Amino acid sequence: MQQNSPFLTANQDAYESWKKWKLEQQPAAETLAEPVVVHDPAALTQSELDAIRERVRATNWVLFRLEERDTLDQDTIKQFASQLGLKRLDANLKSEQSGVSAICVKKQEGTPYIPYTSRQISWHTDGYYNDSDEQIYGMLLYCVKQAAEGGSNDLMDHELLYMMLRDEDPTMIDALMHPQAMTIPANIENGVEIRPDHTGPVFSIGADGNLHMRYSARTRNISWRDDADTQRAAARIVELMNGAEYPVIHHHMQPGEGVICNNVLHRRDAFRDGDAPEQQRLLYRARFSDRIAETGYQNR
């Protein structure tokens, strides 16, 4: 952890400098949902790379749209991501052989994994249940087909949430940075432990100096540290995300569109698939142990 980091509450001058820079970078609200058009995802042009990095540097996420929507299969996703510095693919239990996950409604045994149902998914960052040395820092989500109804996504830059909490009361940030702030219970299927309990902070500072967030709003999956500041901070996160002042982007991705991000907060509406194959929701998701290269505040 860098002792002069703006994300440590002891460093108020550094924080104020970062905050000023961060707010100056924010795009106008009407442009946030304007996608960067990508001509060939396997060979990004310099202008496309620059446009993606510039937006991610400011907001930690960006929408993209393929000029030819059928050019992004699972293998090409990895080529696309690699050009942005996303190379350490995080394969998981439900991913395909390629390491990329096909997110759609699937028949599941035992307790279902919610991403593979049509149910709503509450606010979270990906891999919140991973161990501290296996965190997800970057993600690419691509829409192949949308459902007949529903399935929109909300996105929110975790750095803005950090800012709102810190400006209100820095004690909440200290509580959320405690190494025992949040515990995800073990994943047990048919009496077999698939994954042990994982305990760690909500906000942390990566080796590269950037702010990382690990979070889920699902009350059944979370055990918060039993102290007043942590409990108050956890409740305040929910209040802010449900309040009108919280800057959320709501977007219904169309086939050929996607999101690249530094694992920002996101959620999904419930949806209903249609009978026709083209109305059965399918997204590809690739998760990485890397951030998007050259998008930290140090690169300003």
- Mean model confidence pLDDT for the chain: 91
Rounded Cα distance between 290 and 152, Å, is 26
Rounded Cα distance between 227 and 224, Å, is 8
Rounded Cα distance between 247 and 251, Å, is 13
The reported pTM is 0.93
The rounded percent of the chain whose pLDDT value lies above 90 is 73
Whether 165 and 173 have beta carbons less than 8 Å apart is answered as: yes
**DSSP line for 111-172:** SPPGGGSSS-EEEE-TTTTS-GGG---EEEEEEEE--SEE--EEEE-HHHHHHHHHHH-HHH
Rounded Cα distance between 266 and 130, Å, is 17
Rounded Cα distance between 110 and 30, Å, is 43
Helices (H), 36-139: 46-59, 74-82
Architecture of domain 29-288: 4-Layer Sandwich (3.60)
Instruction: Provide Rg for the chain, Cα atoms.
Output: 19
Residue 221 vs residues 7, 121, 144, 197, 274: alpha-carbon distances, Å:
27, 13, 29, 11, 31
Digit-coded pLDDT (tens) for 74-122: 999 999 999 999 999 997 655 566 789 999 999 877 667 888 999 999 9
Digit-coded pLDDT (tens) for 40-63: 999 999 999 999 999 999 999 999
Whether 1 and 11 have beta carbons less than 8 Å apart is answered as: no
Digit-coded pLDDT (tens) for 152-197: 999 999 999 999 999 999 999 999 999 999 998 866 666 565 666 7
**Residue 117 carries which side chain, given as an amino acid letter?**
T
| Structure-token pair, residue 64 | 């993209």
Whether 212 and 222 have beta carbons less than 8 Å apart is answered as: no
Rounded Cα distance between 167 and 192, Å, is 44
The rounded percent of the chain whose pLDDT value lies above 70 is 93
Rounded Cα distance between 113 and 124, Å, is 14
